Amino acid sequence: MKKFPNTFLWGGAVAANQVEGAYLTAGKGLSTSDVQPQGIFGPLVERTENDFCIKDIAIDFYHQYEKDIALFAEMGFTCLRTSIAWSRIFPLGDEVEPNEEGLAFYDRVFDEMVKYNIRPIITLSHYEMPYHLVTEYGGWGNRKTIEFFEHYARSVFQHYKNKVKLWLTFNEINMSLHAPMTGVGLAGERTQSEIYQAIHHQLVASARVVKACHQIIPDAKIGNMLLGGLVYPLTCKPDDVWEAMNENRKWLFFGDVQCRGQYPSYMLRYFKDNHIDVVITDEDRQALKQTVDFVSFSYYMTGCITADKEEYEMKRGNILSMVPNPYLESSEWGWQIDPKGIRIVLNLLWDRYQKPLFVVENGLGAIDNVTPEGEINDDYRIQYINDHLVQIGEAIEDGIDVMGYTSWGPIDLVSASKAEMSKRYGFIYVDRDDQGKGSLERKRKKSFYWYQSIIQSQGELLR
């Protein structure tokens, strides 16, 4: 394979609530993730002393980050994506002064990355917010949350301005349509109007913090983050093609607002046809004009959609429900593997936005077995990532500005959808099971050495 450009960033991506643990340490407040111990589709629970949630310790990155970052450096990472847990900095979310201990923790983490020339890519909000903002204010349903978020973002921009130059606003901002509690802090059954209103507030907040980032860190770049949920029409029947177009617009809508600075006309019609009332003020319209510098996205799978909904069973993959594609194989979790799809998404986003693109999540969740000799021979993971990187290489040849690639979960972590440890993504194995048993010891898998060789050869060893 041709070498990837010198500027291409290679690394991995994790999220605070899936790796850190230490869920109430050093002043951290309860987050929405802490009250969903069974994952983003699980019920909300009232936390009681000594109850069990796998994320409370997760993989103990809070205490083991030095060791983990050293392993990432050994693989040759030039970047690492993680998130700041908002509730470490503002435990309740509505305070004026930040929690110094929370700020100090990320100082230590970012310093450690910088020590190895690993560029931090920091998501401001990855599937969590202070739970107090949900109970007291109704989450993103309340306009006030825009102010709280902007205050949090300005505080961390100010504090880390010399260390972090790449930022992302909201992880998979489009997933709020499918998991509103996780995305916008709306508990229970909600109407479409309530969900889109909360989403609107989040879009305004995203635009406002892009502006704040430019003011506070002029040499930084800040992007959005979409769940790249590409769907294909199940057949070439025009109704299926139209259905697929609309399904893709459900996620592209977010990118359209964040990249073009206004609501697309198809969405206004959708609101009208479905009696969805969203309050959009002139001030909001003005704020939305601030667009992102680059577009980042996650990509795991694709699926199909048909107009004949009653005839086909929809299956849930990563958040989205789709009709299975007869041409594709599935992972152990039923996610359909489609390397070509990543090239299609890159081309689609490039054609639509002409902004640099960053693949900030991609990977295979699988069961790994440790041999009696202590080895983990994860050839399936090597194959998956190899095939996706080959397609990214093709997209670069297509002329697309791809900033980099961060594989999801370079170290095993707690899965988001069902809070499982057994669904492993890592190049590094972590000894912990779904019940929380295990030594937390780290082990290099076969894929560790493979990814190291790919980074070292700048992609030339991809097959």
Q: Please identify, among the stretches 200-208, 236-244, 265-273, 409-417, the one whose residues bind ligand BG6 according to the rule CB under 6 A.
A: 409-417
- Respond yes or no: is residue 361 known to be catalytic: yes
Counting every residue written for the chain, the total comes to 463
Q: Which of 172, 243, 361, 394 is the catalytic position? A: 361
CB nearer ligand BG6, residue 19 or residue 396: 19
Q: Does 182 contact ligand BG6 by CB under 6 A?
A: no
Q: Is 73 exposed, middle or buried (0-12, 13-18, 19+ CB in 10 A)?
A: middle
Collect all residues with Cβ–Cβ distance below 8 Å to 209 and sequence separation of at least 6: 124, 149, 150, 153, 154, 157, 169, 222
Q: What is the DSSP string of 374-429?
A: S----HHHHHHHHHHHHHHHHHHHTT--EEEEEEE-SB----TTT--SSSB--SEE
Q: Does 82 contact ligand BG6 by CB under 6 A?
A: no
Q: Please identify, among the stretches 71-79, 130-138, 414-422, 427-435, the one whose residues bind ligand BG6 according to the rule CB under 6 A.
A: 414-422
Q: Does 426 contact ligand BG6 by CB under 6 A?
A: no
CB nearer ligand BG6, residue 159 or residue 178: 178
Scanning residues 267 to 326, which ones bind ligand BG6 (CB under 6 A)? 298, 318-319
CB nearer ligand BG6, residue 20 or residue 172: 172
CB atoms within 10 A of CB 50: 5
Collect all residues with Cβ–Cβ distance below 8 Å to 291 and sequence separation of at least 6: 207, 210, 258, 259, 260, 261
CA 72 – CA 286 distance, rounded (Å): 42
- Mask for 223-262, x = binds ligand BG6 (CB under 6 A): ----x-----------------------------------
For the bound state, the minimum distance from the C-beta of residue 399 to ligand BG6, rounded and expressed in Å, comes to: 28
For the bound state, the minimum distance from the C-beta of residue 421 to ligand BG6, rounded and expressed in Å, comes to: 11
CA 91 – CA 170 distance, rounded (Å): 18
For the bound state, the minimum distance from the C-beta of residue 335 to ligand BG6, rounded and expressed in Å, comes to: 8
For the bound state, the minimum distance from the C-beta of residue 153 to ligand BG6, rounded and expressed in Å, comes to: 19
Q: Please identify, among the stretches 77-85, 146-154, 253-261, 413-421, the one whose residues bind ligand BG6 according to the rule CB under 6 A.
A: 413-421
Q: Does 171 contact ligand BG6 by CB under 6 A?
A: yes
CA 72 – CA 66 distance, rounded (Å): 10
Q: Which of 113, 417, 421, 447 binds ligand BG6 (CB under 6 A)?
A: 417
CB nearer ligand BG6, residue 234 or residue 411: 411
CB nearer ligand BG6, residue 318 or residue 407: 318
CB nearer ligand BG6, residue 216 or residue 414: 414
CB 204 within 8 A of CB 290: no
* Residue 398 token pair: 């297509």
- Greatest Cα-to-Cα distance within the chain, rounded to the nearest angstrom: 65
Cα angle: 179, vertex 388, 338; to 5 degrees: 60
Q: Are strands 79-83 and 119-125 parallel, antiparallel or unpaired?
A: parallel
CB nearer ligand BG6, residue 40 or residue 278: 40
CB nearer ligand BG6, residue 258 or residue 417: 417
For the bound state, the minimum distance from the C-beta of residue 414 to ligand BG6, rounded and expressed in Å, comes to: 8
Q: Does 142 contact ligand BG6 by CB under 6 A?
A: no
Q: Does 197 contact ligand BG6 by CB under 6 A?
A: no
Q: Which of 31, 33, 362, 415 binds ligand BG6 (CB under 6 A)?
A: 415
Q: Does 31 contact ligand BG6 by CB under 6 A?
A: no
CB nearer ligand BG6, residue 361 or residue 394: 361
φ, ψ (nearest 5 deg) of residue 424: -105, 140
Q: Please identify, among the stretches 261-269, 306-314, 411-419, 429-437, the one whose residues bind ligand BG6 according to the rule CB under 6 A.
A: 411-419
Q: Does 416 contact ligand BG6 by CB under 6 A?
A: yes
Q: Which of 56, 172, 394, 412 binds ligand BG6 (CB under 6 A)?
A: 172
8-state DSSP, 32: T
Q: Does 365 contact ligand BG6 by CB under 6 A?
A: yes
Q: Does 36 contact ligand BG6 by CB under 6 A?
A: no
Q: At what angle do helices 339-353 and 238-260 cross, to 10 degrees?
A: 60
Number of residues forming the site for ligand BG6 (CB under 6 A):
16
Residue 212, CB half-sphere, CA atoms under 13 Å: how many?
Answer: 23
CB atoms within 10 A of CB 3: 13
CA 333 – CA 13 distance, rounded (Å): 20
Inter-residue long-range contacts of 443-446, CB under 8 Å, 24+ positions, other chains counted: 443/370, 443/374, 443/376, 444/71, 445/368, 445/376, 445/377, 445/378, 445/381, 446/375, 446/376, 446/377, 446/378, 446/379, 446/382
Known catalytic residues? 361
Instruction: Note the residues at the interface with ligand BG6 (CB under 6 A).
Output: 15, 18, 127, 171-172, 227, 298, 318-319, 361, 365, 408, 415-417, 423
